[in-house]
Structure 1
Amino acid sequence: MTRFAISRRAAVVTLAAATLAVSVGTAVNGATPTATAATQSSAQVRVHAHGASPSVQRALWENWAKVWNGDYDRAPGVISPKFRVHVSLLDGSPDTAIRGVEGLTAFVKQSRTLFNDLKFTTQVGPFIDGKHVVGRWIATGTYAGGIPGATAPVGTKVTFTGTDILRTEHGKVVEYWLNTDTIALLGQLGVGGK
């Protein structure tokens, strides 16, 4: 297994944690973002790296959400090569396998294989404080199978929430803290159920 490969089990477990986080969607506080923020290029984001303005940080958040929603081509413009994630994986495996653009992209892809039509939407935020961007998201999707211990049938609709904390440098995400309502997700999948 390469250093970027994440075991299916780790992805499954983390999915409850990370996929989710991920974060985010295209609506901010129920409003559609402006075309300027939503379409701002990664080159424009890089120009304003230090002390990035709220509009630049908001555009970064929107592009982060698009990566989590399956637009992997945006990842190099959003994720720093120094990227690292902080998450407690349910299977106890270290989060150190999720590093850089390739690591996060592999993790997101593996997480998305567990849920058809997975969609992240911003529920609250993003809140911007210097180099930190924080937002709460809600995710919806259809269970595709593959989570150990799940008794829910394939095709079960799920909804779960989480919060992403991003630290940025030079217009890219360098650190990511993920907090997902794993209990709610696993409950909907019948993991450890009655």
Structure 2
Amino acid sequence: MKISINTGFIRSALALMVIVMCAWITSVQAQGTPEQKNKEIVLKWLNNFWGSKYNPAIIDELATPDMILQYSLHKPRKGQADIKDFMKKFRDAFPDLAFEGAYPLLADGEYVIARWIGGGTHTGTAFNDWPVGALPAATGRKMRFTGTTVFRVVNGKVAEEIGLDDGLTALMQLELVRPVK
């Protein structure tokens, strides 16, 4: 008994299978990993919340309703309204306030770590959210400092932003603390 194999059909089927697999791989790569998506969310947050072109709408877009914002230089903040109020006062006091990423973001699961640098010039309103005292209006003092922040992203929104900053440097630059002589 003679068996006939249609090699043209086999070649066509294999070619179709390769095309489908390539399309699937491209689709998976385009979607990105959960960590990559979280890094993109944090980068958008950093650029629009802490960057030079502040956009208050970013809080409604990317912050959970009960988001926690905590740094050593400021009182802890909780919730969108509290965070909006904090940033309005901070930017009213430091109109040129701007921070930017200093290194690539690192991510593991829902956590994203960012190192940053930035600051601003106190040319605006008085500001009293420092742990060591208040600044009167428009001192003209500049601050520039660094820090590291751990973000927690849940369901595409920032739930926590907890950072450690070089607050001593900023407070010395603003003349709120003085070096020991």
Q: Say yes or no: TM over 0.5.
A: yes
> Is 1:130 aligned to residue 96 of structure 2?
no
Count the aligned residue pairs. 140
Structure 1 alignment gaps of length 5 or more: 1-47
Deviates more, 1:129-138 or 1:140-149: 140-149
TM-aligned CA deviation for residue 101 of structure 1: 1.7
Structure number with bigger Rg: 2
- Cα distance in structure 2, aligned partners of 1:150 and 1:102: 23
> Is 1:179 aligned to residue 158 of structure 2?
no
1:44-78 deviation per Cα after TM superposition (whole angstroms, max 9, x unaligned): xxxx8xx9623311221122111123211111121
Map 1:66-145 → 2, pairs under 5 A: 66-69=48-51, 70-88=54-72, 95=76, 98-144=77-123
Question: What CA RMSD, in Å, does the superposition of the two structures yield over aligned residues?
Answer: 2.7
Structure 2 alignment gaps of length 5 or more: 1-30, 128-132
Show the counterpart of 1:41.
none
* More contact order relative to length (CA 8 Å, sep ≥ 6): 1
Percent identity, aligned pairs only?
27
Q: Which runs of 4+ in 1 moved over 6 A?
A: none
Q: Taking structure 1 as reference, are residues 111 and 57 closer, same or farther at Cα in structure 2, changes over 3 Å only?
A: same
On the 8 A contact 1:150/1:190 being kept in 2, the answer is no
TM-score, normalised by the number of residues in structure 2? 0.66
> Is 1:61 aligned to residue 29 of structure 2?
no
TM-score, normalised by the number of residues in structure 1? 0.62
TM-aligned CA deviation for residue 88 of structure 1: 4.5
- Cα distance in structure 2, aligned partners of 1:174 and 1:160: 24
On the 8 A contact 2:72/2:165 being kept in 1, the answer is no
